Amino acid sequence: MAKRTIMAAGNWKMNKTPTEAVEFINGLKDIVTGCNSEVVTAVPFVCIPGAVEAAKGSNIKIAAQNVHWEASGAYTGEVSCEMLKDLGVDYVIIGHSERREYFGETNEMINKKARAILDAGMIPIICCGETLTQREQGVTAEHVRYQIKVALLGLSAQEVSELVIAYEPIWAIGTGKTATDEQAEEVCAIIRQLIAELYDNDVAEKTRILYGGSVNAGNAKALFSMPNIDGGLVGGASLKIDAFEKIVKHDQ
């Protein structure tokens, strides 16, 4: 079985102007040339054209942080998959806990988005994760399994083997409180086991499962070395070139 390529994906959230985005990508691209990880930056919609242009010829891939599932129409303020694909976007983050919490996104919506992203020839990064209360009440596994089960409804084995899942415990996002390597590994292994149940072992071995939640230059190496963790979705630490570089080059 071929080894899964580690992914270091930065999620900028609502940070950086288009000008700052271009400066950042220009600064990052030479530094990460030839590294072993796949490097992705998820930038705000308005930063995408400049970021794609700046990343041309480098090994940095550009992601969006959200998308609408409909192809076009009366959806004021929304952006379609075709629009993102046309700009040169490779990945789209869906189901981030901030979108679930502040914008009312449901598992069913995330499933529709995953379908539309794959149909457009891009790759979804599907986020899941429990609240602190859910963890304390011992329902983390059930909750995450349900989120992923619905998100993957109707997707083929081939599609699931190519997409990316990010396990992000909500209590660890932006709090500086990282899950322990063992806590993160445990849930990533549960997700891989679920994929094996829904599809088969071969698919489960190919799907990349990231950990997200206060990943930084100091903890990336240990987290990414766990058997079922294939890299990280990184918020705060992806906004500074030196910190993100250390995460990308965690193995050097």
Residue 96 among the catalytic residues: yes
Of the ranges 59-67, 142-150, 198-206, 210-218, which one interacts with ligand PEP (CB under 6 A)? 210-218
For ligand PEP, the nearest residue by Cβ is 235
Residue from 236, 243, 247, 249 binding ligand PEP (CB under 6 A): 236
Residue from 220, 234, 247, 248 binding ligand PEP (CB under 6 A): 234
Looking at the DSSP bridge assignments, the partners of residue 46 are none
DSSP code, position 8: E
Phi (first) and psi of residue 34, to 5 degrees: 75, 5
Residue 185 among the catalytic residues: no
Of the ranges 153-161, 183-191, 221-229, 230-238, which one interacts with ligand PEP (CB under 6 A)? 230-238
Alpha helices in the chain (DSSP H): 18-31, 48-55, 81-87, 97-103, 107-119, 132-136, 140-151, 157-162, 181-198, 201-206, 220-224, 241-248
Which residues lie below 8 Å from residue 154, measured CB to CB, with a gap of 6+?
A: 111, 115
Neighbours of 193 (CB within 10 A): 15
Tell me the C-alpha to C-alpha distance, in Å, between residue 44 and each of 41, 51, 62, 222: 10, 10, 10, 29
Residue from 80, 134, 207, 214 binding ligand PEP (CB under 6 A): 214
Tell me the C-alpha to C-alpha distance, in Å, between residue 251 and each of 8, 39, 66: 12, 14, 30
Q: Which of residues 153-192 bind ligand PEP (CB under 6 A)?
A: 168, 173-174
Work out the angle between the directed axes of helices 48-55 and 18-31 (0-180°, nearest 10).
20
**At its nearest, how many Å lie between ligand PEP and the CB of residue 11?**
4
Residue from 233, 243, 247, 248 binding ligand PEP (CB under 6 A): 233
- Residue 124 binds to ligand PEP (criterion: CB under 6 A): no
Nearer to ligand PEP by C-beta: 38 or 168?
Answer: 168
Active-site hit among 38, 130, 168, 245: 168
Footprint of ligand PEP on this chain (CB under 6 A)?
11, 13, 168, 173-174, 212-215, 233-237
Which active-site residues does the annotation give? 96, 168
